[in-house]
Chains A and B, each alone.
Chain A
Amino acid sequence: MSDDELIWRIAGGSGDGIDSTSQNFAKALMRSGLNVFTHRHYPSRIRGGHTYVEIRAAENEVQSRGDGYNFLLALGDSFARNPQEEAYYGNEEIKPLSENLDELRDGGIIVYDEGLVDEDEVADLDLEKRAEENDWHVFPVDLRGLAKEHGREVMRNTAGVGVTAALLDMDLEHIEDLMADAMGGDVLEANLDILHEAYETTSEEYDFEHDLRAPVGDHDTEQALLSGSNAIAYGAIDAGCRFIAGYPMTPWTDVFTILSQNFPDMGGVSEQVEDEIAAAALAVGASHAGVKAMSGSSGGGFALMSEPLGLAEMTETPLVLVESMRAGPSTGMPTKPEQADLEFVLYTSQGDSQRVVFAPGNIEEAYEQTRLAFEIAWDYQIPAIIIYDQKLSGENANVDVEFFDREPKPDLGATLTEEELKEAAHDNSGKFQRFQHEGENGVSPRSLPGQKGGRFLATGNEHSPVGHIEEDPDNRVNQMDRRLEKLEAIRTELDDEYESTQTYFGDDDADYGIVTWGSSQGAVEEAVARLNEQGHSVKGLSVSDMLPFPKTEVTEFLESVDEAMVVEMNATAQFRGHIQRELGRFGEKLTSLLKYNGNPFEPAEVVEGYEVNIADEEREPTAQVRIEPAAGD
């Protein structure tokens, strides 16, 4: 862990502009040359309720939210207050100051809005004493008053940013630029006045005894700040996807929204429909007619999609679905991340159903694997699913702009042109043998409705080579074997023609392994680095290919270590179970570190899990995590 990092937490009420303010501030930090990573915590309600965003900024690479934070900007919750009568309404009083102190690091800075945070609340906190104990530096500022004086009360966020900049000795240039991009006229003037006054007043009124200053960084190339949802949407665009159908559900809505907003400009079609069964069925219909299509949802909505998912598999219609996990079962915790839909996504749908499943672990992987999912789905005429979670969906980090500089790939894969159809196999009545048994790699190329010479029937029933319902035993076995062959072929292609989509970190010859998947990757990567700095011998593997499973890679990794800990955000060790089922071994070697309280792993929790679990320390972990011993223990 670099000491030279800022983890800035802005806390307040949902609907108070916490998200937009933090986005802008993160961008300003990025523009100043720093690497940034954001973590968003919000309740399932529109207005009011405690919300915060953390921005971690450092010169070095940042892959996770980090541990705790060192700067709190507590804005107060304006929606817990009736603006006319200064009285609380609703039944919940949110305290962005007192609720956020637990994880504030020693030596940290607190700025709170004296104009909105109750005096009683501060008194109850015994803030002075606690500040002294923890070496906190407390700055009460009347942000609300300052904002009102120059503009409107909502602009208190700007005042908070101004105070932050002063306390951290930051240049205002990037913040001013971003404001000028986002607004104009009187609103911009008022915000700039507030920003400057907050900056100057703070600089003049306070002596800075704290050590924390904004870190300094310098990027060689231009950076873009985007979320995992942006990356998935952009990966789809570059893969040639031009049709999306969906039903709103957190957190999948982000991808749906981004594509809905961009498609009109690029000739794509977006459909918000009556339910998720329809959504996935529409994607199947569009794909059948010759457009690269996707749909998606979160757990509860994805449940409805298991029907069309199986239909796509049986009719060999290419399809990409995204599944953005949130805590379950049922509607669970709508705005909290979990990695507990893995088994559901691997096995949902009846019969010997097959699909490809990718689980990207960070923003770059989200983009890459979305592109890959489309490529595989259309080349092999099989549903491909991207499984990720609320954490990856909503977190923002900077990515080198050049990373995205590559050509679109609108290729329809194993789809014939009319010229090619003339040469293709037809039956005696002239019907195209769409599902012929002799497909290469299990794939028989398809035609599209409206093409000359390509007439066939697609059906969810077992069918003959031209697509007619057929229950002949030989045909059944041939068709089933051919469909099953696809996963083997895909595994071979992924191994041979692509760089591994698995991510490795640490020394190759380390003794211990930490295995993870999806969005827990960043925290594990940092933890591995820290453990090695502390003198342990640890390496990490983050698996992205859930199906077909990278058996060789995972086997080699697990054979090379004495023991391994599987880190995932669920209560039933689903990924560990998946590894053991796929490999048929390693039960005695794998322990689990599980977290399912609604918050993602912090690196220190993984370090602690390792210490307790693998280094055999005789203690219980302090964090809200659970250790599941190996089968042999």
Chain B
Amino acid sequence: MSAFNAIGDEREIDRDEFTPGVEPQPTWCPGCGDFGVLKALKQALPEAGKTPEEVLTVTGIGCSGKLNSYLDTYGFHTIHGRSLPVARAAKLANPELEVIAAGGDGDGYGIGGNHWIHTARENHDMTYIVFNNEIFGLTKGQTSPTSPKGHKSKTQPSGSAKTPLRPLSMSLNAGASYVARTAAVNPNQAKEIIKEAIEHDGFAHIDFLTQCPTWNKDARQYVPYVDVQESDDYDFDVHDRKEGAEMMRETEDVLNEGTVLTGRYFVDDDRPSYQQEKKAVGEMPEEPLAERYFDDDAEWERSYDLLERHT
């Protein structure tokens, strides 16, 4: 008998299973885009055939970090910026878990920027959703790495002198094999993209635009949005790195001008995930490492076997 019977459990899954029974109601403000992520996940997970107990959601700090308080899966609410290293190790320890990391733009693109680059570079098999509202919300409205240039806040009262970060282009250049942008205001697309990301073998980065009605009143509410896959104005091949990069660039340029383009920008189905690469070079076991501790027949090598070289 497996030690992790929730994994691979095939049954009809009601999305309400992902809603905590007697848990606290979300503390997000009315109109917050974060509700959109929660809703999209609750829809996408059952459609992807995932049960709550085989999913591990790992979050950082901020409004976004509370996601797994309101989404009833196994969860790990970590510290500011550190969701990715925790998440990717959990996936290495038990590759059969469905690991979803989430954080905010301050959390993931600021303090956790280093981890983001390296997780993308290594192409860890996981989904990474960044709640991008261009502001620090929970600390009450400071400028974030994606805030537009000139953005005024309590910490940059004269307007930010910094050019905003380009998350899509960054992720592509770092090595992510799936890069998309969606928005809370576009629930159907959000659900589909999350489902694709879950099913994708490799690092799937979703820049999820979540409006902040409280601290970012000046921010565009991401409407109207354009779905680049649906629109006749845009024609590019998401499997082509160069065309994807062009499209990302344009998307990131026009966002600063108030035009919201969403959709898939780059999908590389051929690149093996880090887990596959690591197995291929013999640095990771075929069977989930975590299972071994419950296997009574497992042969545990011991240091005594290594002593010969020291005698």
Contacts and interface: CB of A to CB of B under 8 A. Distances in A.
A406 B305 CA distance: 11
Interface stretch (B207-215, B249-257, B277-285): B277-285
B133 to A, nearest CB: 20
A293 B290 CA distance: 11
B21 A428 contact: yes
A286 B77 CA distance: 15
Given A281-B82, A449-B74, A224 B94 contact: no
Interface in B20-42: 20-24
Size category, B interface: 35 or more
B6 to A, nearest CB: 5
Nearest to A284: B86
Contact of A230 (B66, B92, B310): B310
Contacts of B53: 449-455
B93 A290 contact: yes
Interface stretch (A130-138, A240-248, A561-569): A240-248
Contacts of A289: 56, 89-91, 93-94, 97, 290
B76 interface: yes
Nearest to A371: B303
Contacts, number: 233
Contact of B114 (A275, A407, A455): A275
Contact of B74 (A224, A264, A418, A450): A450
Contacts of A279: 85
A428 B304 CA distance: 49
A282 B86 contact: yes
A233 B302 CA distance: 11
B89 A281 contact: yes
Interface in B67-106: 68-69, 72-79, 82, 84-94, 96-97
A193 B95 CA distance: 55
Contacts of A440: none
Contact of B301 (A237, A418, A453, A466): A237
Contacts of A333: none
B54 interface: yes
B170 to A, nearest CB: 15
Contacts of A274: 114-115, 117-118
B4 A286 contact: no
Given A285-B90, A293-B89, A311-B82, A237 B303 contact: yes
Interface stretch (B177-185, B192-200, B263-271, B292-300): B292-300
Contacts of B300: 240, 266, 408, 410
A455 B290 CA distance: 17
Contact of A242 (B88, B292, B303): B292
Contacts of B306: 234, 237, 262
Interface in B133-167: none
Which residue of B5, B82, B283 has the most chain A CB atoms within 10 A of its CB atom?
Answer: B82
A269 B302 contact: no
B82 A404 contact: no
B77 A238 contact: no
B72 A431 contact: yes
Given A450-B74, A452-B53, A457-B77, A269 B6 contact: no
B86 A288 contact: yes
B293 A468 contact: no
A450 B6 contact: yes
B129 interface: no
A418 B3 contact: yes
B231 interface: no
B72 A238 contact: no
Contacts of B290: 289-291, 448, 450
B48 interface: no
A428 B4 contact: no
Size category, A interface: 35 or more
A513 to B, nearest CB: 35
Given A267-B289, A429-B23, A285 B74 contact: no
Which residue of A281, A418, A466 has the most chain B CB atoms within 10 A of its CB atom?
Answer: A281
B292 A285 contact: no
A307 B78 CA distance: 10
Contacts of B22: 427-429
A460 interface: yes
B219 interface: no
B29 to A, nearest CB: 17
B7 interface: yes
A146 interface: no
A408 B5 CA distance: 26
A450 B118 contact: no
A449 B56 contact: yes
A253 interface: no
Which residue of A222, A282, A288, A449 has the most chain B CB atoms within 10 A of its CB atom?
Answer: A449
Given A224-B307, A451-B3, A460 B85 contact: no
B261 to A, nearest CB: 31
A256 interface: no
Interface in B222-240: none
Nearest to B24: A468
A107 to B, nearest CB: 33
A270 interface: yes
B89 A468 contact: no
A242 B289 contact: yes
Contact of A281 (B85, B92, B278): B85
B293 A290 contact: yes
A517 B70 CA distance: 49
Contact of A455 (B3, B52, B94, B307): B52
Contact of B66 (A224, A407, A469): A469
A286 B5 contact: no
B247 interface: no
Contacts of B6: 450-452
B58 interface: yes
A238 B303 contact: yes
B4 A285 contact: no
Interface string B3-25: 11111010000000000111110
Contacts of A287: 93
Interface in A408-435: 408, 410, 412, 417-418, 427-431
Nearest to B116: A274
A356 B57 CA distance: 29
Contact of A269 (B54, B66, B289, B311): B289
16 contacts: A237-B301, A240-B293, A267-B285, A269-B283, A281-B89, A285-B85, A286-B92, A289-B94, A407-B302, A410-B293, A431-B23, A452-B9, A454-B53, A455-B52, A455-B53, A459-B76
Closest 10 CB pairs of A and B: A429-B21, A285-B89, A234-B303, A450-B4, A290-B290, A459-B77, A285-B86, A281-B85, A282-B89, A449-B74
Interface of B: 3-7, 9, 20-24, 52-54, 56, 58, 66, 68-69, 72-79, 82, 84-94, 96-97, 114-115, 117-118, 278, 282-285, 287, 289-290, 292-294, 298, 300-304, 306-307, 310-311
Given A289-B94, A448-B94, 4 more contacts: A240-B293, A278-B84, A288-B86, A469-B24
